[in-house]
Amino acid sequence: MTTYADIVIIGAGLMGCSTALCLARKGKKVILLEKESFPRHASAVNAGGVRQLNRSVEEIPISVGAMELWPRLDKIVGNDCGFRPVGQILIAPHTSAMNALEQRIESLTSLGFYHEELISPFDVKRLVPAYSGKCSGGIMSKKDGFALPALTLKTFKNAACSAGVQFQSNCKVIDIAHNGSKFKFHSEDGRTFESGVLVNCAGAWGKTIAAFFDDQLPIEPTGLSMMVTARMPRFITPVIGIYGEKLSFKQMENNTVLIGGGRKAVLNMVNERTDLDFSEMQKSAQTVQANFPIMKKASVVRCWAGIEGIIKDHLPVISKSNKIQGLFHVCGFSTHGFQLSPMIGRLAASMVMDKSPEVSLEAFSMNRFETA
């Protein structure tokens, strides 16, 4: 028996759930297909950083739009998703880093963006007294912070289902055909679906879904690792990065310390398994201990890795297909999609419904790959 919908979305990570929610609230019949029993990839295991700070200029309008939504998630999806606007700081450990950050702020100001501000070494000392590394100042985005990824994902999925989205779990799409007007989907366990529109929200697997239609998406699946410590005495409030270092560092509300920043894990995409690379974890720990002496007393209680789809220019693809009418790609969020996710649903829904999106999506078109 085939199930019909206006729109099928493949992938129930945050991008799929956020898009499904917005489309269902606009009256569309949506089916969300997910190969896991519950979505458990990048959206569920990320660092929870809600960051406008130091983004590519192309992404800033989406990021600023998303930042308006995070403090209102309680009203929008029925839960605050653990969002805490504690601010994010990028410390400049030397003058050349500070010069680069000063130039960034000057250029953002000339473009009309004021969410990031320069801070002095004195401000860093005041805001991050536990930091003992070199410091020439830094930049800060006060409205940024962190949220809880697993709770955010569950909240968006529940909100989508309450809005009428049909969620199909354990439903790995293994074949898709298009007959000129309709898509037909087959899952590994024999379920079939039909729709007029397909939205590819398959994250690191986005390239595989696009390949059914000869659309080339240069998305590179990558394993990224994280670690968390036992509870520590309270010593830091904002989320910290250090210019030139692979580090994202925050103390959660339960006083554990979460350490990430793009350290790679060993990924096997055949069995979708990530193995931690302990030499990478060691480098992360060394950076943290060199800059925060209190962390010499920390015990790491858990490490894990997630699978993320990365595009070389570090921008996602949010684009219609040039070949197939009704096919849209929303994937490749390149390590920083969590913060964007509440806004992505709105933009993807506008794109699918052929309405003008709230911000231009031109920079995210797949045409850029052809030009490249």
238 binds ligand FAD (CB under 6 A): no
Collapse the DSSP code of 96 into the 3-class scheme (helix H, G, I; strand E, B; otherwise coil) and give the result: helix
Among 15, 101, 315, 351, binds ligand FAD (CB under 6 A): 15
Q: CA–CA distance from 308 to each of 14, 218, 265, 304 (Å)?
A: 13, 13, 11, 13
Single-letter amino acid, residue 271: N
Q: Residue 172 or 320: which CB sits closer to ligand FAD?
A: 172
Q: Residue 258: enclosing H or E segment and its boundaries?
A: strand 257-260
Collapse the DSSP code of 312 into the 3-class scheme (helix H, G, I; strand E, B; otherwise coil) and give the result: coil
Q: Residue 20 or 92: which CB sits closer to ligand FAD?
A: 20
Site string for ligand FAD, 208-227 (x = CB under 6 A): ----------------x-x-
Give the residue nearest to ligand FAD (CB): 13
Q: Residue 135 or 310: which CB sits closer to ligand FAD?
A: 310
Report the C-alpha gap between 39 and 20 in whole angstroms: 14
Report the C-alpha gap between 227 and 161 in whole angstroms: 32
Q: Residue 138 or 260: which CB sits closer to ligand FAD?
A: 260
In this structure, what token pair is assigned to residue 117? 């501000």
Single-letter amino acid, residue 251: Q
Please list, in sequence order, all residues whose beta carbon lies within 8 angstroms of the beta carbon of residue 326, skipping any fewer than 6 positions away: 178, 181, 183, 196, 197, 198
For ligand FAD, the binding residues in 24-83 under the rule CB under 6 A are 33-36, 39, 41-43, 45-49
Among 298, 331, 348, 361, binds ligand FAD (CB under 6 A): 331
CB of 296 to ligand FAD, least distance (A): 24
For ligand FAD, the binding residues in 149-188 under the rule CB under 6 A are 171-173
Among 138, 337, 342, 345, binds ligand FAD (CB under 6 A): 337
Q: Residue 301: enclosing H or E segment and its boundaries?
A: strand 300-311
Report the C-alpha gap between 152 and 196 in whole angstroms: 29
23 binds ligand FAD (CB under 6 A): no
Task: Give how many residues touch ligand FAD by CB under 6 A.
Answer: 40
CB of 11 to ligand FAD, least distance (A): 3
12 binds ligand FAD (CB under 6 A): yes
Please give the backbone phi and psi of residue 248, each rounded to the nearest 5 degrees, phi first.
Answer: -135, 130
In this structure, what token pair is assigned to residue 253? 């509300």
Q: Residue 12 or 247: which CB sits closer to ligand FAD?
A: 12
Among 193, 213, 338, 364, binds ligand FAD (CB under 6 A): 338
Name the residue with tokens 């501000």: 117
Q: Residue 212 or 292: which CB sits closer to ligand FAD?
A: 212
Q: What is the DSSP letter of 82?
A: T
CB count within 10 Å of CB 354 equals: 7
Q: How far apart are the first and last CA of the chain?
A: 43
Q: Residue 45 or 101: which CB sits closer to ligand FAD?
A: 45
201 binds ligand FAD (CB under 6 A): yes
Q: Residue 116 or 137: which CB sits closer to ligand FAD?
A: 116
Q: Which of 15, 13, 73 is nearest to 45 (CA)?
A: 13
Q: Residue 260 or 342: which CB sits closer to ligand FAD?
A: 260
Put residue 78 in one of left, alpha, beta given phi > 0 → left and psi -120 to 50 → alpha: left
Q: CA–CA distance from 66 to each of 144, 154, 358, 365 (Å)?
A: 11, 18, 11, 20
Q: Residue 153 or 295: which CB sits closer to ligand FAD?
A: 153
Among 7, 8, 9, 10, binds ligand FAD (CB under 6 A): 10
CB of 256 to ligand FAD, least distance (A): 15
Tell me the pairing of strands 88-91 and 30-33. Answer: unpaired
CB of 344 to ligand FAD, least distance (A): 8
Residue ranges in contact with ligand FAD by CB under 6 A: 10-16, 33-36, 39, 41-43, 45-49, 171-173, 201-205, 224, 226, 260, 306, 308, 331, 333, 335-339
